[in-house]
Structures are given as structure tokens and as C-alpha cells.
Amino acid sequence: MTTRMKNPAYVLPDGMKGIGTLLKAVNDSGLPAAVREFTGLRVSQINGCAACVYGHVAEARKAGETDERIFNVAAWREAPFYSDAERAALELAEHATRLADLSREGVPDRVWDDAADHFDERQLSGLILAIALTNLFNRINVTIKEPAGTTW
């Protein structure tokens, strides 16, 4: 696959400044690295973003995650490898990503309450921003055909 163009965030450097600020906020939120990477991986799987799937797998490995946990993210409901907090984050990520697929409330109270039971306000804020940013990156990368293997 050939990339259609340079990443717009690099073409418009002010965009990269804003993204960098949001990423710093997520990293400073106290959200565990495993939650960041697993939710990013799951969102990217849903959106078909090869570049981000590749990147989140690499980052999860750097954070010390096992292949067993990484490879089962797509089947997290059936796999025994995740904590209740990680499951709550993954469910929130799926609902927040599939907003247009739902004919009902995008993020039901049950899903929200479960996530809020496991994360404090700062962590929950980091989680929401991380999910939103991953969706942003997925949409950019899919549009410009950014291939797997691209590093950021």
C-alpha cells in the first residue's frame, strides 16, 4: 500500500501541537499504560486502521504486555486475561467508537457506570481523550492509507 499523502498533522504543524498537548494530558492522567494500549488497539481494530493496530501492539509490548493479552484484545469478552477495569475500559471504547452503529443511546449508563467504578475522574478523562484521539488517528490514517509499520 502506498500512502496517499504525508500525514496532515505534519503538513499543518499547529495541528501536531494540539495533538501533542492532548497526548501529554492522557499520559499525565494516571491511566495505566495497558488500558491505553488495549483500548487503542481495540478501537483501531474496529476502524480497520493497520498503522494504529501495528503501533498499539508495539507500544503494548514495550510496556511489558504479553502476546497472550495483546492477541486476544479482539475477543476480550471471551478471554480470561483482562481485569474488570480493563474490561470496563474496552467496553467503553467500543461504545464510544461505534456511535453511528447504534440505534439507541451511544454509551449506555451501565457502560459508563462500570467504567466510572474503576477509574477516578482524571483517569476517566484520560480514557475518554485516548479513545477520541485513537478514533481521530484512525480516520486520518485510513483516509491517507497509512500502512502498517509506520512509526509515530
Contact 41, 53 (CB under 8 A): yes
pLDDT tens digits for range 21-41: 999 999 999 999 999 999 999
Q: How many domains does the chain have?
A: 1
pLDDT tens digits for range 119-128: 999 999 999 9
Domain that holds residue 127: 32-144
Report the alpha-carbon distance of residue 96 to residue 151 in Å, rounded.
25
Residue 19 covered by a domain: no
Q: Which three cell numbers stand for residue 130?
A: 485516548
CATH number at residue 140: 1.20.1290.10
Specify the residue for cell string 481523550.
Answer: 129
Percent of the chain with pLDDT strictly greater than 90: 88
Where helices occur in the chain by DSSP H, the ranges are 8-11, 13-27, 33-47, 50-62, 67-71, 84-97, 109-118, 121-144
Report the alpha-carbon distance of residue 146 to residue 51 in Å, rounded.
6
Residue 27 covered by a domain: no
Which one is predicted more confidently, 105 or 109? 109
What is the distance, to the nearest Å, from the Cα of residue 27 to the centroid of all Cα atoms in its chain?
A: 13
Residues 6+ apart with CB under 8 A from 89: 35, 38, 39, 115, 118, 119, 127
What pLDDT, on a 0 to 100 scale, did the predictor assign at position 127? 98
Residue 23 covered by a domain: no
Residues 6+ apart with CB under 8 A from 56: 37, 38, 40, 41, 44
What pLDDT, on a 0 to 100 scale, did the predictor assign at position 102? 67
Confidence of residue 151 (pLDDT cuts 50, 70, 90): low
Residue 26 covered by a domain: no
pLDDT, average across residues 65-93: 98
What is the distance, to the nearest Å, from the Cα of residue 86 to the centroid of all Cα atoms in its chain?
A: 12
Residue 25 covered by a domain: no
115 CB burial (10 A radius; 0-12, 13-18, 19+): buried
Residue 21 covered by a domain: no
pLDDT tens digits for range 56-72: 999 999 999 999 999 99
Report the alpha-carbon distance of residue 79 to residue 69 in Å, rounded.
9
Residue 8 covered by a domain: no
Residue 89 covered by a domain: yes
